[in-house]
Amino acid sequence: MEKRTLGSTDIEISPIIMGTWQAGKRMWVGIEDSETIKAIRAGFEAGITTVDTAEVYGTGHSEQIVAQALSDVRSQVVYATKVFANHLKYDQVIEACDRSLENLKTDYIDLYQIHWPSGTWNSEIVPIAETMSALNNLKQAGKIRAIGVSNFSKAQLEEASQYGRIDSLQPPYSLFWRKIEPSLTNYCLEHKISILAYSPLAQGLLTGKFKRGHQFVEGDHRVANKLFNGENYERAQRALEKLQPIADHYQTTLGNLALAWLIFTSETRPQVHAIAGARNADQSVQNAKAAELKLSESDWSKIDEIGRSVTDFLDDAPIMWDF
């Protein structure tokens, strides 16, 4: 899999990134550690050399699972993890980083990200200057190699950038969820900030496996996902029906077509990487194949237009879930 450069760093990351929210188990059902480890390892062997996790995913459990899967090939992979919104004071950031280093069984983190802005999820408001001071010092000490932010607005990204170099933005971004367009995408293009898109398959909706009338089991957080409810869900089903012939033309799946649309590169688009989770090894291998799919400009535009038949009708709220 051809690598890309993260922001303005010398860190090489894969266009498809292994997502490991599910590895933490909390808010997911039917997740087995042994299968997750196999999935992460299979992804690595298929060329997915970058893995994204967070301290809040199962209170460190996801990070520990990543270490079990990849510690023996640590020098060949890129670790990206995140500090949560309730740990953004100077000392808390340092302590959280040390915990993540221990969980990941490594002495450095390639990309360390602020998971959510200060004040979100009922967290205490901490000046971004204080948080960035801690991150800059961690970078200077060699504990982290690059700084990123997640779920930041343009204004928040601009403010954070006043106190240090930001090399990545991690937002929810997919063919069916495009809240960062165009303000954030243009800003990232201008300032050479890589976008690491989470929920690039709209939590599985873009795979086409969820049909009309699907019911999630109790405990699955997708029950609260706006895309899986009401008229939004019906519009998504109609869009998927229009996307299927394009996927058939490329002899690929709906999911990989959506990933290929997202990571498509052009002079007018910022560098976008897709964070795709997997429950098993087969899903990891399938996700990796999306990087091999080369869309034509015209087909990319057709897919783009079909996606807008869903996104143009969404409300203005930036969060995908009604928690």
The residues that are catalytic are: 57
Cα 149 from Cα 112, distance rounded (Å): 8
Query: CB-based contacts of 151: which residues, under 8 Å, 6+ apart?
Result: 115, 116, 117, 120, 170, 171, 172, 318
**Closest CA relative to residue 50, chosen from 4, 98, 87:** 4
Tokens of 199: 């929920």
**Of 98, 32, 113, residue with least CA distance to 65:** 32
DSSP per-residue codes, 195-240: EEEBSTTTTTGGGT-S-TT--PPTT-GGGGBGGGSHHHHHHHHHHH
DSSP state of 170: E
How far, rounded to the nearest angstrom, does the alpha carbon of residue 323 sit from its chain's CA centroid? 19
Q: Which residue has the tokens 């008229």?
A: 231
